[in-house]
Amino acid sequence: MRKLLRVRFLLVLSITLTLVSAAITYLNVQEKKEATALIIHTYKVIQFSTRMLSSLKDMEIGHRSYLLTADTTFISPYHEALADITLDVDTLKDLVKENPRQADIIQQHIAPLIERKKNHLTESFHILKSFGRDSASHFAGMKIAKTQMDSIRYWIGDFIQHEQSLLKERSERLEQRYIINDVIRFSSFVLIGITSLAALVNINRKEEDNKRLLRELQNLNQQLEEKVRERTGELEQANADLVRLNEEKNHFLGMASHDLKAPLVGISGLLSLMRLDKDKLTPRHVEYISLMEETGENMQRLITDLLDLSRIETGTVRVNPQSISISKLLTQLHNRFRPLADKKKIELDFQQQLTNDVITTDPDLLARVLENLLSNAIKFSPSGKKVIMHVHEHANDLRFDVIDQGPGIRPEEREKLFKKFQKLSARPTDGESSTGLGLSIVKDLVELLRGTVQVESRTGQGTVFSVSLPRVK
């Protein structure tokens, strides 16, 4: 009788420990959710603060460019940035309204400074209308403008720094909660295991050998099922986390790429303005401007690749099939790449053998594919060589062969050829930049067009990339 009571006591204790462990786990999960929400909230505050500072810079660039050139195209970025700043200030006020310190900085410092900055810029436009460009430029260049911008940067920097310290504190607190939760869970499982084992020992002494073996088998089966459920849950959570992180990465790429476009447009505009005064520039200045323009073009290509990658991975690329002329497309490509080929003294040879000049496909996606292949062929070809674009019919498909006389691709490197961010041993022959995304984008776009892409290469003799597309999609 005493053994039976002991068994019952151990079973009740095991159930109690299980319930307590479940309750503690639930409370910890709720705390982790709250901590995670606070971390996400802090990230939003930092994001809008950074975007607001970027918009201020865009507003000032648009303002100065308009004063210098009187070109009304610079007014649009100015007003867009002005609207974004107002929206960001209102959003930040709402986000930090529960934080007295940050709310005070917004209300007492950042918002008034931004308002004074807006008034200063507006006043310069009034001076431009009333007294002319020189007076407006002099007014805009006064020390007060720099002082205002420096003050705004200081307070926004202080604002962001405080949020970053909050982020660090909250992240550490969340990590501590994870550790505490794991310790509690492990301890509970240990205690549950001990009590269950003790119960089994007493039951084994009470029951016959066959019943004892049966109970042990059932217990082990139950433990195995529990572990399978736990592992399944962990795998599902891990998969959900990976999906979420991938979505966040794609969102960041798209956002960052779009945000980088505006400064590049401003820089390109300023460089174009500088070229208008070429009579006042020295040869060295002209060379520097050319280098800056080339760097801007490289950056623009990188942004385009990142945007293409983001659109492909998020599934937002839309295929719009149209009937297009192959001859017209080849003419456009030849005109675009001829200056680049001439610069490297590379012969550009376009050939076509077609009975029907029309194909039904998406013209933008096809042009993007061929531009990437032609750009690579020229980039990796030495001076004095030839790059060939050969278009011909192959079975029921239309085939585009891009042939170069570059260094070729090593056999051991071909499996990495169409993967993202892969750079092979071959290097551009004139110091050009390479993102490692072009061929990956080519493969994905060709598959969207329901085609195939193949490569043939011999080391030291050149490479042939072949894209086959159906005539009717």
What CATH number does the domain containing 418 carry?
A: 3.30.565.10
User: What single-letter amino acid sits at 390?
Assistant: H
Let me know if residue 265 belongs to a domain.
Answer: no
Q: Residue 217: which of 202, 204, 233 has the closest Cα?
A: 204
Return d(Cα 19, Cα 12) in angstroms, integer. Answer: 11
Domain's final residue, options 185, 206, 227: 206
Task: Compute the mean pLDDT over every residue in the chain, rounded to the nearest whole number.
Answer: 79
Question: Which has more pLDDT, 308 or 411?
Answer: 411
User: pLDDT-based confidence at 153, cuts 50/70/90?
Assistant: confident
Question: Which has more pLDDT, 18 or 311?
Answer: 18
Per DSSP, which regions of 251-346 are E strands? 322-325
Can you tell me the mean pLDDT for 17-45? 77
Can you tell me the mean pLDDT for 215-236? 84
Return d(Cα 65, Cα 269) in angstroms, integer. Answer: 9
What is the value of pTM for the model shown? Answer: 0.43
With H, G, I as helix, E, B as strand and everything else as coil, classify residue 279.
helix
Give the per-residue pLDDT at 370: 94
Please give the C-alpha separations between residue 24 and each of 35, 193, 269, in angstroms, as whole numbers: 16, 18, 61
Let me know if residue 282 belongs to a domain.
Answer: no
pLDDT for residue 10 is more than 80:
no
**351 in Cβ contact with 461 (< 8 Å):** no
**45 in Cβ contact with 98 (< 8 Å):** no
CA angle 271, 252, 257 (to 5 degrees): 20
User: pLDDT-based confidence at 251, cuts 50/70/90?
Assistant: low
Let me know if residue 290 belongs to a domain.
Answer: no
Range of the structural domain that residue 457 is part of: 322-470
Residues 195 and 326 in one domain: no
Domain's final residue, options 164, 182, 206: 206
pLDDT for residue 473 is more than 60:
no
User: pLDDT-based confidence at 386, cuts 50/70/90?
Assistant: very high
Can you tell me the mean pLDDT for 235-254? 64
The two tokens of residue 290 are 């050319």
Number of domains in the chain: 2
Give the per-residue pLDDT at 421: 64
User: What single-letter amino acid sits at 278?
Assistant: K
pLDDT for residue 223 is more than 60:
yes
CA angle 8, 10, 11 (to 5 degrees): 65
Q: What is the DSSP letter of 453?
A: E
> Which residues are within 8 A (CB) of 360 and not within 5 positions of it... i.e. 6 or more apart?
321, 322, 323, 324, 471, 472, 473
Question: Which has more pLDDT, 211 or 427?
Answer: 211
User: pLDDT-based confidence at 301, cuts 50/70/90?
Assistant: low
User: What single-letter amino acid sits at 104?
Assistant: D
Let me know if residue 236 belongs to a domain.
Answer: no
DSSP of 364-417? HHHHHHHHHHHHHHHHTSPTT-EEEEEEEEETTEEEEEEEE-S----GGGGGGT
DSSP of 180-196? HHHHHHHHHHHHHHHHH
Can you tell me the mean pLDDT for 455-464? 89
Let me know if residue 61 belongs to a domain.
Answer: yes
Phi, psi of 448 (to 5 degrees): -65, -30
User: What single-letter amino acid sits at 199?
Assistant: A
With H, G, I as helix, E, B as strand and everything else as coil, classify residue 186.
helix
Let me know if residue 241 belongs to a domain.
Answer: no
Can you tell me the mean pLDDT for 352-376? 90
Mind listing the pLDDT tens digit for each residue in 393-441? 887 889 999 999 888 888 877 777 877 766 666 678 766 666 667 788 8
Let me know if residue 462 belongs to a domain.
Answer: yes
What percent of the chain has pLDDT above 90?
15
Q: What is the DSSP letter of 182?
A: H
Let me know if residue 302 belongs to a domain.
Answer: no
User: What single-letter amino acid sits at 99?
Assistant: N
Residues 329 and 201 in one domain: no
Mind listing the pLDDT tens digit for each residue in 73-94? 878 877 888 888 888 888 988 8
Residues 201 and 337 in one domain: no
Can you tell me the mean pLDDT for 21-39? 75
User: What single-letter amino acid sits at 264?
Assistant: L
Give the per-residue pLDDT at 402: 95
Question: Which has more pLDDT, 296 or 461?
Answer: 461
Domain's final residue, options 189, 206, 223: 206
Give the per-residue pLDDT at 177: 75
Comparing 53-67, 103-117, 232-246, 391-405, the range with the smallest average pLDDT is 232-246
User: What single-letter amino acid sits at 98?
Assistant: E
Question: Which has more pLDDT, 399 or 180?
Answer: 399
Residues 330 and 457 in one domain: yes
